[in-house]
Amino acid sequence: MTAPLDGIKILDLSRFIAGPHCTKILGDMGADVIKVEKVGYGDDGRHLPPFQNGESLYGMSLNRNKRSMVLDFRHADAPQMLIELARQADVLVENFRPGTMEEMGCGWDVLHAANPRLVMTRLSGFGQDGPYAMRPGFDGIAQAMSGLMSLAGEPEGPPMLAGTFYVDYMTGMYGANATMAALYARERTGKGQMIDVALLDSAVSMLTTGLSSQADQGVTPLRTGNRDRYSSPANVFATGSGDYVLIVSGTNPLFARICAMIGKPDLIQDPRFTTVPLRLQNAAAIEDVVQAWCLEHDTQAVIEALNTYGIPACKIATMKDVVENPQLHHRGQLVEMEHPKAGKITLAGVTMHLSDTPLTIRRPPPVLGEHTDEILGDWLGLDEDAIGALRDKRLI
């Protein structure tokens, strides 16, 4: 079966998370992704722990389905090499600080002139223009500046970062989505275009009602801990066996079900709890009732009862629980691969399932520079002597 992006060539100059995640998605879709890295150093992500046999699990988690070549980006001939590679590419992805590609002589105008069909996907902290464009930007900075951190944590505690780099991942997904849209547009116009995706923009897109609450009503959303912001009871509750479960039962139909489950059907007539807004105003009171019931039962009994009544709920999983989750195994979300240096590694599976053109994991994350000669031969048609000459002058 043909993959969705079979035949599409991606030139990947990105590092860390957002860019590599973007190109990983495109690679899963069948694109030929060429990861161009610094000679002798590679992607910064290769140097972040934890390590397995000297290889970074951080870096490997983001770079499957790619081939790696090395290049001295500071060499006088590097810009011409990048331009020649871009002539052969359908897409170039980069997440340098804005202006870096221009300083290298490889800005959008130059690349577009060299290859009018090229799509250039640019990921950055704050976008390619604007008063903050030149500031360094990372996931945590975007969480902080977007207001997301102000919404995370206990009401009386400090703002908190999330437990993962979810703004980076979201930006990578936006980048991949925009890239596919640009490729689709190219089918009609014959021309490529430049894409500008920013971490801050991506973070702000996840604020739900935060923007309108503040801008239109003058109401500043505050931290609510694990309590749902829009309905109740929806929170984390302790069980009698010392675990925690998340229960989401704030809508009117779900509230009726949980009242029946805990043996208190009369609560749906309690004037404090008859509507969603009233339950939210009296969240502590209704949560106390649910919490008391949970403490009377062990975790298995709590989950079984909730499932029987059709109430969304689950135990708060540890990573051990996650890697043993039968649903994830059934869905192919834990994939084992053999890496040439790290040995057996476990990666997240493909997250999109297409019936006729499925996504696939075809190759493990590459060792630094593993495919340099192969790529120069495939993409540029260089023979061994020509490649040897490039190596002699330390361009590669």
Return the structure tokens found at 342: 């790290």
Q: Which helix (H) or strand (E) holds 285?
A: helix 283-295
Q: Is the peptide bond before 79 cis (omega within 30 degrees of 0)?
A: no
Nearest to 386 by CA among 377, 73, 86, 378: 377
Using only C-alpha atoms, the chain has a radius of gyration, in whole angstroms, of 25
In the structure encoding, which two tokens stand for residue 225, read together? Answer: 């801990």
Q: Give the C-alpha separation, 315 to 325, whole Å.
A: 12
Among 110, 108, 129, 128, residue whose Cα is nearest residue 119: 108
Q: What is the distance between the alpha carbons of residues 33 and 66, in angstroms, rounded to a whole number?
A: 5
Residues 149 and 159: beta-carbon distance below 8 Å = yes
In whole angstroms, what is the distance from residue 118 CA to residue 183 CA? 9
Strand-pair category, 32-38 with 66-71? parallel
> To which H or E segment does residue 122 belong?
strand 119-124
Beta strand 51-52 with 244-248 is: unpaired
The CA-to-CA distance between both ends of the chain, in Å, stands at 36
CA 224 vs. chain centroid, Å, equals 25
Write down the H helix ranges in 160-251: 166-189, 199-204, 210-217
Are 273 and 257 in contact, with CB atoms under 8 Å apart? no
Instruction: Determine which one of 32, 43, 168, 201 is catalytic.
Output: 168
Question: Cβ distance 290 to 262 under 8 Å?
Answer: yes
Phi, psi of 393 (to 5 degrees): -90, 10
DSSP-derived secondary structure letter, 313? E
168 is catalytic: yes
Residues marked as catalytic: 168
